[in-house]
Structure 1
Amino acid sequence: MTWDVLSMIGTVAFAISGAVIAMEEEYDILGVYILGIVTAFGGGAIRNLLIGVPVSALWEQGIFFQIALLSITAIFLFPNNLLKHWQKWGNFFDAIGLAAFAIQGAIYASNMNHPLSAVIVAAVLTGSGGGIIRDLLAGRKPLVLKAEIYALWAIICGFAIGLKIANTPTELYTLFVSVTALRVLSYTYNWKLPIKRLSAHS
């Protein structure tokens, strides 16, 4: 049950996130659907490749594709004045998608008895892979590669699940809420990881 709920939350959140960014970039309706679908399922496809699950497993998630398509259609049909107000919530939906999919990916790898390192990688790729593909297709710098804290929260999910700190449904939902809140705080207060700039030599 936890798996299905997290998958549904992540699918809706990332599909909406991809669709909103596509509309910000003034993509046509096909571009909106493609970017929404890629954002929702791209991370899972990359994860499956790296942990040894056939990518074709994604096509067995028929209900989630339908949910993604309905979410994209709903956001596309929003009146422009409501959509402008909706855009303020883009980062919040991205935070929900990050937390939900990072936990889902970590559970997937843990259930396959992979080591902690693989659980962490699965969490990061599932949580941020779709967003990276979305940003690249939209011609933006991938959020996860910038100084803003993003992938760190997915790593925390991987550690918590890989070390069995979060195991029961209650613990997993608590982890989901905590990671979502941390991500919201990180972009609200502009938390950043250390960066190293190379100065140009004359």
Structure 2
Amino acid sequence: MTWEILSIIGTIAFAVSGAIVAMEEEYDILGVYILGIVTAFGGGAIRNLLIGVPISALWEQGLLFEIAIVAILAVFLFPTNIIKQWQKWGNLFDAIGLSAFAIQGSIYASNLNHPIGAIIVAAVMTGIGGGIIRDLLARRKPIVLRAEIYAVWAILAGIVIGLKIASHPWELYTLFGIITVLRVLSYTFNWKLPIRSLGAH
């Protein structure tokens, strides 16, 4: 049940995130749907490739596709003034999607008895893959490539689950809350990883 709930949370969060970015870029309804769907399912597709699960497994998620389609349509039909208010919530939806999918990806790899390295990779690619594809299609610099802390939280989720520190439902939901809060804090207070510039000064 934890797996299904995290999948639904992540799907809605990333579908809405992709749709909002598409509307910010003034895409038509088809573009909004494409970007929303790609954001919601792109990370899972990349994860499946890396850990040896057939891509066709995505097509077995009929309910999640239906949920994503409804979520995207709902956002598209919201009045413009509400959407503009929602834009400031875009990072929150992204944080929720990152956390839910990083944990979901970790559980997926762990259930296949993969080593901790594969679990971390699954966490990262499921958590950030859709967002990277979304930003590239929208011609934006992917969040994960900026100095702002982003992928680190997905790595943390992978480590915690890979080491079996969290396995019971309440532990996984607590981890979900912690990862979401850490991501919100990192963009709110502009926490950054070290950078080294080679540019001339």
Shorter-chain TM-score: which interval? Answer: over 0.9
Q: In 2, Cα distance between the equivalents of 1:200 and 1:182?
A: 34
Indicate whether 1:73 and 2:73 are aligned: yes
The code of the aligned residue for 2:10 comes to G
The alignment of Structure 1 onto Structure 2 pairs a total of residues equal to 201
Q: In 2, Cα distance between the equivalents of 1:82 and 1:200?
A: 44
Q: In 2, Cα distance between the equivalents of 1:2 and 1:152?
A: 23
Residue 133 of structure 2 corresponds to 133
Residue 157 of structure 1 corresponds to 157
Report the 3-state secondary structure (helix = DSSP H, G, I; strand = E; otherwise coil) of the residue aligned with 2:177.
Answer: helix
Q: Map of 1:86-125 to 2, 5 A cutoff?
A: 86-125=86-125
Q: In 2, Cα distance between the equivalents of 1:166 and 1:149?
A: 23
Q: In 2, Cα distance between the equivalents of 1:146 and 1:188?
A: 15
The code of the aligned residue for 1:49 comes to L
Residue 176 of structure 1 corresponds to 176
Report the 3-state secondary structure (helix = DSSP H, G, I; strand = E; otherwise coil) of the residue aligned with 1:149.
Answer: coil
Deviations 1:152-198 (A, max 9, x none): 00000000000000110010000000000000000000000000100
Residue 13 of structure 2 corresponds to 13
The code of the aligned residue for 2:188 comes to T
The code of the aligned residue for 2:129 comes to G
Residue 4 of structure 1 corresponds to 4
Residue 31 of structure 2 corresponds to 31
Q: Map of 1:54-69 to 2, 5 A cutoff?
A: 54-69=54-69
Q: In 1, Cα distance between the equivalents of 2:145 and 2:159?
A: 20
Identity %: 76
Shift of 1:34: 0.1
Normalising by structure 1, what TM-score? 0.99
Moved over 4 A (4+): none
Shift of 1:199: 2.7
The code of the aligned residue for 1:80 comes to T
Residue 47 of structure 1 corresponds to 47
Q: In 2, Cα distance between the equivalents of 1:158 and 1:118?
A: 9
Deviations 1:20-70 (A, max 9, x none): 000000001100000000000000000000000000000000000000000
The code of the aligned residue for 1:174 comes to T
Deviations 1:124-167 (A, max 9, x none): 00000000000000000000111000000000000000000011
Q: In 2, Cα distance between the equivalents of 1:107 and 1:199?
A: 41
Residue 189 of structure 1 corresponds to 189
Deviations 1:52-104 (A, max 9, x none): 00000000000000000000000000000111001110000000000000000
Q: In 1, Cα distance between the equivalents of 2:71 and 2:149?
A: 27
* Structure 2 unaligned regions, length at least 5: none
Q: In 2, Cα distance between the equivalents of 1:21 and 1:106?
A: 27
* Structure 1 unaligned regions, length at least 5: none
Shift of 1:10: 0.1
Q: In 1, Cα distance between the equivalents of 2:159 and 2:17?
A: 26
Shift of 1:200: 3.2
Q: In 1, Cα distance between the equivalents of 2:145 and 2:118?
A: 20
The code of the aligned residue for 2:53 comes to V
